[in-house]
Chains A and B, each alone.
Chain A
Amino acid sequence: MSVPRFWRRLKNLYNLIGTHCKKCGEYYYPPRNMCPKCRRIGQVVPFKFKGIGEVVTFTIVHSAAKDFAKNTPYILAIIKLEEGPHLTSQVICNHNDIHIGMKVKSAFRKLGEESEKGMIYYGTKFVPLADN
C-alpha cells in the first residue's frame, strides 16, 4: 500500500465506513457512490458499520508476501457484517478456535508497515466477539 492510497482510504479502514442506499435499504462496504440496484434513483449516504459479524469462510495463510511474512501463519476470513456486506479481513484468534459461523467484532490493529523507517498502516481487523 502506498502512502497516498492509504491516506485516501484511511477513514474507511479505521472505522468500517461504507455506504447505505436509503431507497432500497442496501449497505455497501467498501463504499459505493452509486447503488447498483437503484442506479440513478438511489439515495446513497455514508454509513458507519457496527463492526459485528460472522465468519463465512476462512483460510490459514502460511506463506505470505514479504510485508506480511512476520505475521504468518495468520487467519484470513470472509466476514458477513450484521448489516449485510461481506468483506475480507484477518481474524486474530487462536487457530484452533476459528470456525465457520464464529461471531466476531472489529478491532483496531496495525495492518502493516512500509519498512522500519516507513509509514505504519492502521485499520480494522476482527477478533472473537467473546473477547474482552
Chain B
Amino acid sequence: MNVGIVSYGAYIPRYRIKIEEIAKVWGDDASSILDGLMIYEKSVPDMDEDTITIAVEAARHAINRAGVDPGRIGAIFTGSESHPYAVKPTSTVVAEAIGATPDLTVADFEFACKAGTAAIQACMGLAESGIVDLGMAIGADVSQGAPGDALEYSAAAGGVAYVIGKENLIAKIESTYSFTTDTPDFWRREGMPYPEHGGRFTGEPGYFKHVTSAATGLMKRMGTKPSDYNYAIFHQPNGKFPTRVAKMLGFSGEQIKPGLVVPRLGNTYSGSCMMGLAATLDIAKPGDRIFMTAFGSGAGSDAFSISVTDRIDEIRNRAPSVEKLLSNPIYMDYATYAKHKGKIKL
C-alpha cells in the first residue's frame, strides 16, 4: 500500500472525575473497581462541549501539526456513537470550521468504538485511488453510561483526527485487515439516552474473539509477528482488556505501555484506540513499527500495521501531545459532573 498518516491531532476536555468519587455516590467499593477496570479517573466534557466541538478541536490540531492546507482535504468522515444530531452530520460542521468546504465529500460513521478506524480505512481507499488528495478520519465521543451502571466508571470524552494521504507521510500504513460478525454484545436503540450491554457476555465473544481474530489475521497475511513491532495499541474499554489481549497475542507490557491511555482518561469510545496511537506517535522514532487493533461492539475489529517515517520528528511538536492534554486536569465532584453531563435537567 502507498498510503499513510500525513498528520494527527488529539483533544481531551480538561475536566476529570476520579473513580472513587463515583463509587462513593453509588456505595460501590472503589478499590475493587480500580482493580477490575484499571481506570483511575476519566475525562468529562465541559457544559458547552460535545462530539462536534471535540472533533473540531482535534481536526484543528491535525491541520496545524503538519501545516495542511484544508482546501486539499477531499473527504471527512467522523466516527462516533454520540453525534449531537441524529440527522445532520457532525462532519459538515468540522468541514466548515476547518475551512475545507465546499469541495469535498463528508459523512458520519457509526460502529460503536471502532467507527474512527473504519473512517481511516475509507480515507485510505479514497486517497490511494487518487479520488481525493487528502482525507480526514476522526474518532470522537462524549459517551454516557446510565447513572449507577458499570459503564459510568469508564465512559469518557475525547477525540482524535488523522489526515490520510500519499505524500509527506509521518507514518506509512503497511496494511489493514478487519474481522466482523453479528454479535449482540452492546447496543443503543434510536432515541434512547444510554446504551444496553450483554453484561459478562461482552468480553469473550465480543472483544477478545474479534481483537485476536483481526490481529492474528493481519499478521498472518503480512507474515509478521509481535516481536516485529516496537509498539502495539488495542482498544481500551478499560485497562484490563487491552493488557490481557496483548498477552494472549504475544505482545509485551512494554510494547503497549505508551499507548495505554485509558487509566488516566477513561474509554473515549471512537477515540480510544486512535488516542492510543496518537500517544504512541508522540514518542515513536523514525523506523519504529506500530501494531493497532480497534474493536467496536456489534461487533468488529480493524487491525493496522504502521511504520513511522523520518518526518515524524519534524512535525511532532507543532500540536499538543496526548501527555500534554492529560496533564493539568480540573477535578470535579459528582454533583458538578452530573450537571455537566446533563443528568440533572434544568
**Residues on A close to B: CB < 8 A?**
10-11, 14-15, 69-71, 92, 94, 107-111, 120, 122, 125, 131-132
- Residue A120 contacts which of B12, B85, B99 (CB distance < 8 angstroms)? B85
B328, A132: Cβ atoms closer than 8 Å: yes
Q: Which chain A residue shows the least CB distance to B52?
A: A122
- Assembled-state Cα–Cα distance A111/B48 (Å): 7
Interface centre among A111, A122, A125, by most chain B C-beta atoms within 10 angstroms, is A122
A108 to B47, CA, bound (A): 13
**A110 and B48 in contact, given A69-B346, A70-B346 (Cβ under 8 angstroms):** yes
Residues of A within 8 A of B57 (CB): 107-108
Q: How far is the CB of B68 from chain A (nearest CB, A)?
A: 15
**Would B48 and A71 count as touching, CB distance under 8 A?**
yes
Residues of B whose CB lies within 8 Å of any CB of A are 12, 14, 46-50, 52-53, 56-57, 60, 84-85, 93, 96-97, 99, 320, 324-325, 327-328, 330, 346
Kindly state the separation between the CA atoms of A68 and B50 in the bound complex, as whole angstroms. Answer: 16
Tell me the bound Cα distance from A92 to B84 in angstroms: 21
A69 surroundings in chain B (CB, below 8 A): 346
Q: CB-CB < 8 A to A125: which residues of B?
A: 48
Q: B324–A108 contact, CB under 8 A?
A: no
Given the known inter-chain contacts A132-B14, A132-B320, please indicate yes or no for A122 contacting B328, CB distance below 8 A: no
B14 lies within 8 A of A15 (CB): no
Partner of B56, one of A108, A111, A132: A108
- A92 pairs with B324, CB closer than 8 A: no
Q: Are B48 and A92 closer than 8 Å at their CB atoms?
A: yes
Across-interface contacts of B60 in A (CB, < 8 A): 108
A107-B53, A122-B56 provided; 15 other pairs, C-beta below 8 A? A15-B97, A70-B47, A71-B48, A92-B46, A92-B48, A108-B56, A109-B48, A110-B49, A110-B52, A120-B52, A122-B93, A131-B14, A132-B324, A132-B325, A132-B328
Most-contacted residue by chain B among A11, A14, A111, A132 (CB, 10 A): A132
Q: Which single residue of chain A is at the shortest CB-CB distance from B321?
A: A132
**Could you name 5 residue pairs across A and B whose Cβ atoms are closer than 8 Å?**
A107-B57, A108-B60, A111-B48, A120-B52, A131-B14
On chain A, the residues within 8 Å of B47 by CB distance are 70-71
Contact B53 A122 (CB under 8 A): yes
| Contact present for B48 and A14 (CB under 8 Å) | no
The chain B residue sitting closest to A130, CB to CB, is B328
Contact indicator A109/B53 (Cβ below 8 Å): yes
User: Contacts A15-B97, A132-B12 given: A108-B53 contact, CB under 8 Å?
Assistant: yes
Which B residues lie within 8 Å of A14 (CB)? 93, 96-97
Residues of A within 8 A of B46 (CB): 92, 109
Residues of chain B lying within 8 A (CB to CB) of residue A110: 48-50, 52-53
Q: Which 3 A-B pairs have the closest CB atoms?
A: A110-B48, A109-B48, A108-B56
- Known contacts A94-B330, A125-B48, A131-B14; decide if A10 and B85 are in contact (CB<8 Å): no
Q: Is the CB of B97 within 8 A of A120?
A: no
Contact B96 A11 (CB under 8 A): yes
Give the Cβ gap from B170 to chain A, nearest Cβ, in Å: 21
Cβ-closest chain B residue relative to A17: B99
* Cβ-defined partner of A108 (8 Å) among B85, B97, B99: B97
Which A-chain residue is minimally distant from B54 (CB atoms)?
A108
Contact A15 B325 (CB under 8 A): no
Task: Report the minimum CB–CB distance from A94 to chain B (whole Å).
Answer: 7
- Chain A residues, Cβ within 8 Å of B99: 15
Across the interface, name the chain A residue whose C-beta is closest to B57: A108
**Known contacts A92-B48, A94-B330; is-contact A10 B56 (Cβ 8 Å):** no
- In the complex, what's the smallest C-beta–C-beta distance from A71 to chain B, in angstroms? 6
Q: Tell me the nearest residue of chain A to B344, going by C-beta.
A: A70
How many angstroms from the CA of A7 to the CA of B85 in the assembled complex? Answer: 17
Chain A proximity of B6: nearest CB distance (Å): 22
* Interface hub of A15, A94, A111 (most chain B Cβ within 10 A): A15
Write out the residue numbers on chain B whose beta carbons fall within 8 Å of the beta carbon of A11: 96
- Please report the C-alpha to C-alpha distance between residue A55 and residue B47 in the assembled complex, in whole angstroms: 22
Which chain B residue lies CB-closest to A14? B97
Min C-beta distance of B298 to chain A, whole Å: 27
Closest chain B residue to A120 by CB distance? B84
